[in-house]
Structure 1
């Protein structure tokens, strides 16, 4: 039997100063909005959840360079389906993984802070994986994989090809020292620690995805749509 045509988008609960003048990182809005739109267009029911049921927006993701007018309209409309679900986040412990066919970890640098210890989200993704569903992540969403394991307790990305935000990109943004101060590894380093084969995009900001069976990953904010589309494609192959 194919998994249910329902997707859960995970959202970071964390926030912390990262940008000039103390502006904070949090959820990178389009990394949740773009997948939400892809999944809905493909006929999926979509829910959003964070470890604590709360979120803060990432400052950079709210700027005009990253949030286009039509996207801002959806985000700022508190009656839009996306915004209603974002403002009423589930906690993963309130949901049944058996009701879902896709888990998608959205991101923002703040994901590096809470995802590695987000036991609820990790347990949800692990159970969905064991049920034969698709597990996917974009950009810093790969920080979730530290605790997403198969039925034998082995990280699901071990021995598989993955991508995610590059260490070069962290250097270009000038945030590598801040990440180190959080005592968190970069996505590249974390993938290596878990025994995955990290595949770098052509450039830090190029849209780029990797699909390895039921595991789908994307490199950066520009990859959010393509990663969700690849997750849908992988799901359709399960039919």
Structure 2
């Protein structure tokens, strides 16, 4: 039997008060998806259920990316009809892992969503693969474990860096800076030698807590999840 994994998308579509749209980021779903397709069963969920907003800027930026373009053309049903995240509480024993797709959306909804935090806690404490890429680790920032400690405390974590946020000019639109907040809650931040470089980090029990830094790390995190499953 194939391992089963929950893939979580943001339901948030507004980029602060910039008037721009946001959501989840195309290559950060497309690249891991193709690493896992046919090898794992994926169930796509989001806080609100239904259509999860795709960040239009990611479509534009990755229009030359063959996998992203193919995914956009052929897999729309995956994100237009997501199941509601809260339906999966208490079901970690039925799955082998959970993966949070990045994009700026998670900074606004998944970072503070109590159902999502409970779900992450259940997966992590059950020893399941618990993973996220780019801004996806925003979902981990405020998660507390049964002993009251932060999930990220003393863990090696990578995520979209303050430098990268500054370089895309969106720091002022963010509700918080992801790298800073992770550090405040005790994470040991690990990053690529250069901004936008590939970085995938495994920590936690049995290396099951898996994070990727940025869009370039999306294929790598797909491979790491597959290996950990």
| TM norm structure 1 | 0.85
How many Å separate the matches in 2 of 1:67 and 1:141?
23
Alignment RMSD: 2.0
1:57 alignment partner in structure 2: 54
2:105 alignment partner in structure 1: 110
Q: CA deviation at 1:148?
A: 2.8
Instruction: Check conservation: 2:141, 2:152, Cα contact below 8 A.
Output: no
How many Å separate the matches in 1 of 2:67 and 2:157?
31
For 1:24, which of 21, 24, 33 is the aligned residue? 21
1:83 alignment partner in structure 2: 76
Deviations 1:34-57 (A, max 9, x none): 22222224x110011111114211
Instruction: Work out whether 1:224 is the aligned partner of 2:218.
Output: yes
1:129 alignment partner in structure 2: 124
How many Å separate the matches in 2 of 1:221 and 1:165?
9
For 1:197, which of 180, 188, 191 is the aligned residue? 188
Instruction: Work out whether 1:209 is the aligned partner of 2:196.
Output: no
| TM norm structure 2 | 0.89
Describe the shift of the 1:128–1:59 C-alpha distance in structure 2 as closer, same or farther (beyond 3 A).
same
1:6 alignment partner in structure 2: 4
How many matched pairs? 222
Q: Which moved more, 1:141-150 or 1:26-35?
A: 141-150
4+ residue segments displaced more than 6 Å: none
- Structure 1: runs of 5 or more not aligned: none
How many Å separate the matches in 1 of 2:21 and 2:146?
37
Other structure's SS at 1:104 match: strand
For 1:172, which of 167, 174, 178 is the aligned residue? 167
As a proportion of its length, which structure holds more helix? 1
